[in-house]
Amino acid sequence: MTEETHELVELIEHEQGIVTLRINRPEALNALNANVLEAIHDKAAEIATRKDLSVVIVTGSGRAFVAGADIKAMLEMTSDEAEQFAQLGHRAMNAIAALPVPVIAAINGFALGGGLELALSCDLLYASTKARVGLPEVGLGLIPGFGGTQRLGRLIGYHAARELVFTGGMIKADEALRLGLVLKTFEPEALEEGVMTIAKQIAARGPGAVRCAKRVMEQGRPLNISQALELETRSFQELFDSEEPFEGMRAHLDKRAPEFRK
Ligand code: HXC
């Protein structure tokens, strides 16, 4: 299979509106060149407007999640091209982060540099016990340029983030778990099913409520606490303009499963 003849990012459909977005350039450990970044952006944009979408899972094919931005491509770049490349990376990562439903990173192997930055643009990170993660950029004379200098500290705190960025070290899955960088680890053969169980649990909940919760938690982050609580109240109220909370609460009182509509 050559790069021209296979899809660099595959969309895989599952039941309940769950979609896997699989980075598919295994011969280069899924390294992110401009074509892969464009494909990530385009696939995310393609599914973003789907009403039936409930959860997106991002993973890699073969033995890596993503081993980083493509070093061979970056070696050829001028500073203008480097700027464009970083911006393209941000567009791709932002398209993932902006998906209206929860996005899960299933880290099946190496998630390094731009690969970890892709995972950091997801909402929930889970890893195989054989995964290795890190931001090795400074060892290449670079800095993390697809969001790592900003998103890692926001997730695990700046103290631990500085250590990972300054040392450029690669850590094992259990250390990533200890740092709160991933929520849970699974044996390699159990990762797919473990992540799917979590995705299905989310997909069974009120779809409007889950989307609303993601939006409110994200939009509230830059606000002060009183503005953020006001946003929460407004959003809570808006849910009552739809059928969904009435079905959810009625079903609970009737001791039956809710039948939510997408
Ligand atoms: C280009 C890559 C690559 C990368 C792996 N490959 N990572 N190509 N860019 N980031 C290619 C290898 O060149 C090789 O191709 C093939 O994938 C298999 O990799 P090996 O090195 O042979 O595998 P292994 O010995 O198992 O080592 C795995 C590894 C190593 C430890 C993950 O590949 C590695 O260190 N990769 C680079 C990791 C890294 O530094 N990432 C950060 C990049 S900077 P051939 O053709 O030889 O078979 C970055 C910046 C982001 O991400 C921000 C930009 C703005």
List the structure tokens of 66. 């993503």
Tokens 């830059």, residue? 222
Instruction: Tell me, yes or no, if the pTM score tops 0.85.
Output: yes
Q: For 184-202, what is the mean pLDDT?
A: 98
Reported confidence tier of residue 6, pLDDT bands at 50, 70, 90 = confident
Atom 2 of ligand 1 has which residue's CA nearest to it?
28
Q: Convert 157-177 to b/e letters by CB count within 10 Å (16 or more is b).
A: eeebbeebbeebebbbbebbb
Q: How far apart are CA 122 and CA 209, in angstroms?
A: 19
What's the 47 CA to ligand 1 centre distance in angstroms?
29
- With a 6 Å cutoff on the Cβ, whether 72 touches ligand 1 is yes
What's the 169 CA to ligand 1 centre distance in angstroms?
14
For the four alpha carbons of 143, 27, 38 and 128, in that order, the dihedral sign comes to negative
- With a 6 Å cutoff on the Cβ, whether 208 touches ligand 1 is no
| Residue 5: predicted pLDDT | 58
Ligand 1 binding pocket mutation candidate from 25, 29, 93 (most atoms within 8 A of CB): 29
What's the 255 CA to ligand 1 centre distance in angstroms?
53
pLDDT per position as a tens digit, 130-144 = 999 999 999 999 999
What's the 209 CA to ligand 1 centre distance in angstroms?
40
User: What domains, with CATH codes, occur in the chain?
Assistant: 9-203 (3.90.226.10), 207-254 (1.10.12.10)
- With a 6 Å cutoff on the Cβ, whether 70 touches ligand 1 is yes
Specify the ligand 1 atom closest to the Cα of 29: 17
pLDDT per position as a tens digit, 155-192 = 999 999 999 999 999 999 999 999 999 999 999 999 99
| Residue 4: predicted pLDDT | 52
